[in-house]
Structure 1
Amino acid sequence: MQRFLLAVTNSGTIATLSAILSLELAIAPGFSTTRQSPQFTGGVEPIERDKFSSERHRRRINQNWQLSQVFRPPDRGAPPRTEDAGTRGGLDNSLRQQPLTLLIPDLNPEETNFGLTVSEHPTFFAYIPRSRAKTGEFILLDENNQLVYSTSFPMPAQPGIASISLPPTASPPLEIGKWYKWYLIVPGNSDEWSNNDISNAGWIQRIEPGEALENQLQDATPGNIPGLYAEAGIWHDALASLVDLRRIYPSDTSLAKDWEDLFTSSGLAAFSQERLVDCCEVEER
């Protein structure tokens, strides 16, 4: 394990905090951090609620469903495996709950877990357990260990699946073919950062969708989009587009089944019954 220093307080001013992560990377000193409140809405191209609110459009979403929500792992090289995903201290042990977990495919214990995206500014998903802390920290590094983006975010009021989107106005677009490593850190027992902080890390790579997939997406109904991404092994966009639909139609049983199938096929079945949580809007700094 290696230590690194981060700088954040609830007010956004610079202060020293120490977190223990299982890193093979270290943030280089003297780096300028871009900070802005994250966007807590999932999705690649958010679906307009009014456009699909009628029963007629609801049926259109589910009609001619031929693509199952089964994730097919991409056949491509993965980043080097790290020894550990992070520390697990600081949980409220009086409650039985899952630990802090980044929601990326977990199919092979011998390989590093990662997710693909076609988005310049993708959405990241994680299960966040109950915590007494008010804020957490999101960090994105490039493959050269350079800081790309960092922000604090408000902890959800309830445990569940939360999303953080890279803001186009505050973070550079991900470059095609490059690996990026992202971290989620939550103070262990309060907003005081310590060695008991809960942390986790994962990899992401942006790829080109390919002409065939682009053509399929152009002709697809909203309900078919998650399956197309899942079939192509593009995890972040498959999950983001399905999250968009579930937020619009939370009681739709077909979408609930698709959700369960996607999580099961990606090794995340333990989280398929967790709720989607909304995080509070962050005040402008």
Structure 2
Amino acid sequence: MARSHVERLELDELTCWRVRYEACELLISQQGAQILSYQEDQQPPLIWLSDQAAYRRGHGVRGGVPICWPWFGNLQRNPQAVQAMHRHPDTAPAHGLVRSLDWQLLGIDSLDDGIQLDFVFNSATQPLADWPHAAELHLRVRLDGRLHIELNSRNLGDTPLAISQALHSYFAVSDIRQVAVDGLHGCRYLETLEDWQQRQHDGALQFAGETDRIYQGTPAQLSILDRAWQRRIHLHSSGSNSAVLWNPWTDKAQRLSQFAADAWQGMLCIEHANVMDDIRVLHAGEQHRLDLSLWTEPFGH
């Protein structure tokens, strides 16, 4: 059996687990069931964590893979069906309600070919403010030489439940100005920085300024090409037909919390999601699974 190791630790106010499997290392927090960092085989990190990250109860941590649920972004920008789930959509916080709450750790299990962590959040037993619905979230994280993330949403109520959601993944890159994202050719996207205009993307995506786009009809496979680090990060998803790409660039970086003025150079968010036309409506007892698998290979393969 391959070597694995699990260590529980306290980072300021947060309970976390450091998980090693062979040459891979993962750090995950009980608050929000948030992956904080991930690294393969002494390479540069694959998942980015801010050098100024603050580990405080009730506050999100900058970086990693926050879980945005039961809505993504500004609730008032969501379709009406998602807004209607909340009592006061005009005052609802950005990115939902579960990323700053403790989830229950169900178990950490060694497998023949990896290690697996399971977390659950149940809004029937841990009610969410101004969101009076019963649902269960189950997050499964598996390391087997790759990183696999599965987020399962189940409607425990007897009426339909409309949700948007995202795995808000921060990826580490050598220099955002020198990387490209492959796989978006032909996709429609909303250019949120220019009055939410709908456009179509051509070719690989490269970066020369602030980026905040919602891509629709995205394929299962995307990749980040990083020539300086001579690697390609592969992202394979299912249960998602939309993705948000974000980098704050120079000006917005100055206004972000837990974010150094030059941190924009070394990160890129690609957030596999169910947003806009891709929201999910779960009928009584119905469930939906959003999967994401991540791995790297040398550039040129």
State the TM-score, normalizing by the size of structure 2. 0.25
Higher strand proportion (structure 1 or 2): 2
State the TM-score, normalizing by the size of structure 1. 0.26
Q: Taking CA–CA contacts closer than 8 Å with sequence separation of 6 or more, which of the two structures ends up with the larger relative contact order?
A: 1
